[in-house]
């Protein structure tokens, strides 16, 4: 049964749970979460407080949007009914609870910013993995609840695949914790229900992540090609060969200029790779990479060019594009055709084009623009015109049914970005 | 055997199925019902030995050829609340494919086609009923491999692998089956045919994979495939103790090395391997048999078969004593633990990894045994599990318990399980399926008791003690055999409150509870 309370009454009930100093209805605070237009923001300090807030909101008919450190509620899916809204911000839940240096895992609360988690791990000679620097500003919870397409490394896979276990609070106040094991065969992988669920099934409150030792050697390498197709063919062969770079990107001419600057020679297309691991292994991989990319028609660029790119790309502040890029997943066998379609459509409209997140099967094709007013939506429309399917979060009907089981009153707001 | 309330078949069931399938793909014959009455759960062999071979006979066996036919059968079953049990190769060892409530067994082996193979995109799509070796052969002809080589590869299917989260012998390089699946087609318990892809968020694929036919019937899967390896190399080592071997494995994996094969046999298993001579390549149960009885046969020939069985039975009935004796003798008898590693792929990468791995193992006190034991293992890698009958005929039984934990918890778990069951059974173990964050332990146990009732009690007690020890130490009760009927009672302890979410999943995907009832604690 839904209780009926005034907004002040709701705020008082929530303040009883998190403490008055951890709830605010001040415009300066709630305006930061403008997309959802909440009347209050709460900052719970523990998984049990999260569960209690969710239960109270369900009882009171209040919708809850999840945010991590002020980010995450810019866009959301339509609410099922008009009702008061609060934002639950996990900002205070930023503790590292355990680092298991034997098993190479870290257990952390999900409000922690990835940059802070990474800094703490680095002090112990560990790292979350060779993921793009852009992820550093997100929270751990944000990356797990709404994994961005760029959270990938050919060497370590998707960032959220490194999640070995998690705790979740549901809208009814119940909580579950999945058992941490390297692999198991005791039913469906429940953790995967929540990964990518955008806060719609529950709030991920803690996560156990796989971590890695800081690599003994890191070797960035840059190759120039006469065309994007040849660079892609080289990168594809690399993925199939068993050489697994920590990072691998294929850039069109404009993007190469943007990321490499003056390479000392004209670069029509580039393939950038970062090898990492034990020195002896990296040296062998480097020789193989040279041979593979050379056979594809590539020419290695001077080492300083590669190192300069690598240093720049490791800074989370670097934003090479004026507007967020739009991307689509394309299988290798269709990439040639996709590139031709995109090129045809952009002949009179110079855009930056690159391939990333390459694996055995395909790559993400990205379009970016440095022109003012070139919005992400127009880039996405261009991908659609080229016969590609831009990334778009959507629940399958089955997942929607599960959502209704776990949250029948629709308390949890599904976040879009 | 765990039997839930048995379904009473409607007299019209057979004729209604005839509206969906031709008569030759429907059977209510006693021979078929007998054959499909049990899978390879070792406990069912106790029934067979007791002259009760028809353990859980289904009422009907059907052989569909398409997802649409399966959907029509599901809808029929839903209307009349008929239990429906998917069947692949029947090679499961947990009773997961047994019709414990009767009803229909749905054998998918006629759905065995390769639908697509793309070397460019590194993927292949197969129907779920294809036998493992057939799948691999078809890929090999195209210069590809799945990289999935379970010991049951000749008698298990793709659908079975996916349903129970199977692991192959090269899992350290290629992953488990759940790491290889990119997309699925499945029929839900309400008759809907769904397609899902791992590119979607949230990802439905990991919910259907591992659900052992309780949420959906997998009909088709798209898998990650690789080029056939150009080069393969093995090395073997003798390490002083299990702990040293685990340490060497862990260090190597955490440096980023990815051997295809990693196997570490504990002191008991290694000792029996040496005693049996031929046993290094074979599985734990074969080694156990060899050590306990087959030497007699080798020395005296077939004439003393009865005597051999008597001796074997006598030895197993004192398995706990034998186990304790072995524990005390091991420090004097043991030559340490056997470790086998194998690499495959591009030759220069293999060589670099071999050298790095070698250095790691020498660092924990290992002695190089060359490539012989590894090659021998590779040649006999599927020679397991087919020779249990002498042990059962001797009045004993054997089974395997494959569990997993993070490295931090692994050795305490190993010790706890051994302590928990070694007073009841002979127990040996090997460590395989290793990952940077942990490893699986494969315990093999054998024991005997007088008569069926006592054997059942002893068998259950060994499992109870073993799995309780696993849960207490923070491990998982199954790494790759699944839950089925045999571990269903432990699901609540394994998952705690999360089991309620599984039940909600069940309510969404199989609202009438007709899919494989009585399994997985659902």
- On whether both B122 and B153 belong to a single domain, the answer is yes
Q: Which of the four pLDDT bands, split at 50, 70 and 90, describes residue A314?
A: confident
Q: B267 lies in a domain?
A: yes
Across the interface, whether the CB atoms of B508 and A215 are under 8 A apart is answered: no
Structurally, chain B folds into a number of domains equal to 3
| Contact between A65 and A199 (Cβ < 8 Å) | yes
Q: How far apart are CA B262 and CA B173, in angstroms?
A: 10
Does A213 touch chain B if contact means CB atoms closer than 8 Å?
yes
Measured between beta carbons, the chain A residues lying within 8 angstroms of B401 are none
Structure tokens belonging to residue B329: 């003798």
Orientation angle between helical segments B451-472 and B42-49, nearest 10 degrees: 170
Q: How far apart are CA A87 and CA A82, in angstroms?
A: 15
Q: Which residue, among B117, B243, B256, would best test binding to A if mutated, counting the most A CBs under 10 Å from its CB? A: B256
CATH number for position B146: 3.30.465.10
Taking only the tens place, the pLDDT of each residue in B30-51 is 999 999 999 999 999 999 888 8
Residue A106 pLDDT exceeds 50: yes
Domain boundary among B446, B472, B498: B472
Q: B432 lies in a domain?
A: yes
Taking phi first (over 0 means left), then psi (-120 to 50 degrees means alpha), and beta for anything else, what does residue A204 get?
Answer: beta
Domain assignment of residue B19, given as a range: 13-109
- On whether both B256 and B307 belong to a single domain, the answer is yes
| Contact between B157 and B128 (Cβ < 8 Å) | yes
- On whether both B350 and B416 belong to a single domain, the answer is yes
Pairing of strands A105-109, A126-127: unpaired
Q: How far apart are CA B249 and CA B245, in angstroms?
A: 6
Domain boundary among B227, B261, B287: B227
- What local confidence, expressed as pLDDT, does residue B300 receive? 40
A-facing residues of B in 4-23 (CB < 8 A) are none
Residue A251 pLDDT exceeds 70: yes
Opening angle at CA A15, ends A12 and A20, nearest 5:
110
Average pLDDT, chain A: 91
- On whether both B178 and B199 belong to a single domain, the answer is yes
- On whether both B372 and B464 belong to a single domain, the answer is yes
CA distance B349 to chain A (A): 6
What average pLDDT does the segment A51-62 reach? 97
Q: Which of A192, A280, A329 sits opposite B207 (nearest CB)?
A: A192
- On whether both B307 and B456 belong to a single domain, the answer is yes
What secondary structure does DSSP assign to A10-55, as a single string?
HHHHHHHHH-GGGEE--HHHHGGGGGG--SEEE---SHHHHHHHHH
CATH number for position B246: 3.40.462.40
Query: Which residue is closest to B195 within chain A, CA to CA?
Result: A396
Q: B402 lies in a domain?
A: yes
- On whether both B197 and B124 belong to a single domain, the answer is yes
Q: How far apart are CA B104 and CA B512, in angstroms?
A: 15
Q: Which of A147, A180, A216 sits opposite B406 (nearest CB)?
A: A180
Q: Which of B121, B483, B497 sits opposite A175 (nearest CB)?
A: B497
Higher-pLDDT residue of B178 and A376 is B178
Q: B494 lies in a domain?
A: no
Measured between beta carbons, the chain A residues lying within 8 angstroms of B256 are 155, 212, 215, 276-278, 281
- What local confidence, expressed as pLDDT, does residue B160 receive? 98
Across the interface, whether the CB atoms of A103 and B480 are under 8 A apart is answered: no
Q: B238 lies in a domain?
A: yes
- On whether both B207 and B242 belong to a single domain, the answer is no
Q: How far apart are CA A403 and CA B1, in angstroms?
A: 36
- On whether both B351 and B444 belong to a single domain, the answer is yes
Q: Which residue, among A47, A180, A188, would best test binding to B if mutated, counting the most B CBs under 10 Å from its CB? A: A188
- What local confidence, expressed as pLDDT, does residue B285 receive? 57
> pLDDT under 70 in chain B at which residues?
2-4, 275-334, 384-389
- On whether both B86 and B205 belong to a single domain, the answer is no
Q: B485 lies in a domain?
A: no
| Contact between B501 and B184 (Cβ < 8 Å) | no
Taking only the tens place, the pLDDT of each residue in A284-295 is 999 999 999 999
Q: B477 lies in a domain?
A: no
CATH number for position B23: 3.30.43.10
Domain boundary among B166, B200, B227: B227
Terminal Cα-to-Cα distance of chain A (whole angstroms): 32
Q: B132 lies in a domain?
A: yes
| pTM (2 d.p.) | 0.93
Does B227 touch chain A if contact means CB atoms closer than 8 Å?
yes
- What local confidence, expressed as pLDDT, does residue B301 receive? 42
- On whether both B263 and B283 belong to a single domain, the answer is yes
CA distance A375 to chain B (A): 24
DSSP letter, residue B279: G
> What are the angstrom distances between the C-alpha of B123 and each of B126, B170, B285?
10, 18, 36
Of A251-255, A398-402, A412-416, B222-226, the least confident: A412-416
- What local confidence, expressed as pLDDT, does residue A37 receive? 84
Residue A377 pLDDT exceeds 80: no
A-facing residues of B in 137-196 (CB < 8 A) are 164-167, 176, 178, 182, 188, 194, 196
Taking only the tens place, the pLDDT of each residue in A259-282 is 999 888 889 999 999 999 999 999
Q: How far apart are CA B321 and CA A313, in angstroms?
A: 64
- On whether both B35 and B143 belong to a single domain, the answer is no
Element (H, E) at B269: helix B267-276
């Amino acid at each position: 049964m839904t209780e009926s309370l005034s907004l002040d009454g709701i705020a008082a009930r929530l303040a009883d749970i998190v403490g008055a100093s951890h709830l605010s209805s001040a415009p300066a605070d709630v305006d930061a979460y403008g997309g959802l237009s909440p009347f209050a923001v709460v900052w719970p300090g523990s998984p049990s407080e999260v569960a209690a807030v969710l239960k109270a909101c369900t009882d009171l008919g209040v919708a809850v949007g999840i945010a991590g450190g002020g980010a995450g509620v810019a866009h959301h899916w339509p609410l099922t009914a008009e009702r008061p809204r609060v934002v639950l911000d996990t900002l205070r839940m930023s503790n590292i609870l355990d680092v298991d240096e034997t098993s190479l895992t870290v257990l952390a609360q999900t409000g922690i910013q990835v940059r802070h988690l990474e800094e703490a791990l680095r002090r112990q000679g560990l790292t979350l993995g060779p993921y793009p620097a852009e992820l550093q500003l997100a929270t751990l919870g944000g990356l797990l609840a709404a994994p961005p397409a760029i959270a990938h490394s050919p060497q370590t896979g998707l960032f959220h695949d490194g999640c070995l276990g998690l705790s979740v609070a549901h809208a009814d106040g119940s909580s579950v914790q999945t058992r941490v094991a390297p692999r198991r065969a005791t039913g469906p992988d429940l953790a995967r229900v929540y990964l990518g669920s955008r806060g719609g099934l529950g709030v991920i409150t803690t996560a156990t992540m796989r971590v890695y030792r800081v690599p003994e050697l890191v070797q960035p390498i840059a190759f120039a090609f006469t065309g994007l197709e040849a660079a892609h063919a080289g990168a594809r062969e690399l993925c199939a060969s068993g050489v697994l770079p920590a990072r691998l990107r294929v850039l069109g001419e404009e993007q190469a200029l943007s990321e490499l600057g003056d390479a000392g020679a004209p670069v029509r297309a580039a393939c950038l790779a970062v090898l990492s691991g034990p020195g002896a292994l990296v040296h062998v991989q480097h020789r193989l990479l040279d041979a593979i990319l050379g056979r594809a028609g590539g020419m290695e660029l001077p080492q300083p060019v590669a190192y300069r790119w690598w240093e720049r790309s490791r800074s989370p502040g670097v934003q090479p594009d004026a507007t967020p890029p739009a991307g689509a997943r394309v299988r290798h066998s269709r990439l040639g055709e996709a590139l031709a379609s995109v090129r045809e459509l952009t002949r009179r409209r110079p855009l930056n084009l690159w391939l990333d997140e390459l694996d055995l099967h395909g790559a993400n094709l990205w379009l970016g623009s440095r022109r003012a007013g070139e919005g992400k939506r127009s880039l996405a429309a261009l991908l659609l015109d080229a016969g590609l399917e831009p990334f778009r979060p959507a629940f399958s009907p089955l997942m929607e049914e599960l959502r209704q089981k776990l949250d029948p009153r629709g308390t949890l707001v599904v976040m879009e970005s | 055997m765990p039997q839930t309330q048995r379904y009473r078949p409607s007299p019209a069931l057979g004729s209604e199925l005839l509206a969906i399938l031709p008569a030759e793909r429907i059977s209510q014959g006693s021979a078929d019902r007998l054959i499909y009455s049990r899978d390879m759960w070792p406990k069912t062999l106790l029934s067979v030995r007791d002259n009760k071979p028809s353990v859980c006979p289904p009422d009907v066996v059907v052989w569909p050829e398409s997802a649409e036919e399966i959907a029509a059968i599901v809808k029929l079953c839903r209307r009349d609340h008929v239990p429906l049990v998917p069947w692949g190769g029947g090679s499961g060892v947990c009773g997961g494919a047994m019709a414990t409530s009767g009803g229909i067994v749905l054998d998918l082996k006629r759905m065995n086609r390769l639908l697509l193979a793309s070397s460019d995109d590194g993927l292949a799509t197969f129907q779920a009923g294809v036998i493992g070796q057939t799948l691999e052969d078809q890929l090999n002809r195209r210069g590809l491999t799945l990289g999935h080589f379970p010991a049951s590869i000749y008698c298990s299917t793709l659908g079975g692998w996916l349903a129970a989260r199977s692991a192959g012998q090269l899992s350290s390089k290629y992953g488990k089956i759940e790491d290889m699946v990119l997309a699925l087609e499945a029929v839900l318990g309400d008759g809907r045919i769904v397609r899902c892809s791992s590119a979607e968020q949230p990802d439905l694929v990991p919910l259907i994979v591992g659900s052992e036919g309780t949420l959906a019937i997998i009909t088709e899967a798209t898998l990650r495939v690789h080029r056939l390896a150009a080069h393969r190399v093995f090395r073997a080592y003798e390490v002083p103790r299990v702990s040293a071997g685990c340490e060497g494995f862990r260090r190597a994996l955490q440096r980023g090395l990815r051997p295809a094969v990693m196997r570490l046999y504990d002191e008991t298993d290694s000792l029996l391997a040496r005693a049996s001579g031929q046993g290094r390549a074979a599985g734990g149960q074969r080694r156990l048999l060899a050590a306990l009885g087959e030497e007699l046969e080798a020395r005296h020939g077939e004439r003393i078969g009865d005597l051999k069985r008597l001796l074997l039975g006598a030895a197993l009935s004192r398995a706990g004593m034998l186990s304790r004796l072995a524990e005390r003798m091991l420090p004097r008898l043991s030559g340490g633990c056997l470790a086998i590693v194998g690499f495959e792929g591009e030759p220069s990468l293999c060589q670099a990894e071999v050298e790095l791995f070698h250095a790691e193992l020498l660092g924990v006190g290992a002695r190089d045994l060359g490539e012989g034991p590894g090659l021998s293992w590779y040649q006999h890698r599927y020679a397991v599990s087919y020779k249990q009958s002498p042990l059962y005929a001797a009045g004993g039984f054997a089974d395997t318990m494959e569990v997993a934990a993070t490295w931090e918890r692994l050795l305490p778990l190993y010790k706890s399980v051994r302590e928990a069951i070694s007073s009841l059974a002979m127990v040996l173990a090997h460590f395989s399926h290793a990952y940077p964050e942990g490893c699986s332990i494969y315990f093999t146990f054998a024991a005997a008791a007088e008569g069926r009732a006592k054997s059942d009690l002893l068998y259950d007690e060994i499992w109870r003690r073993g799995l309780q020890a696993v849960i207490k130490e923070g491990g998982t009760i199954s790494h790759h055999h699944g839950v089925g009927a045999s571990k269903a009672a432990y699901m609540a302890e394994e998952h705690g409150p999360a089991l309620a979410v599984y039940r909600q999943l069940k309510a969404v995907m199989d609202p009438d509870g007709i899919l494989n009832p009585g399994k997985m604690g659902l």
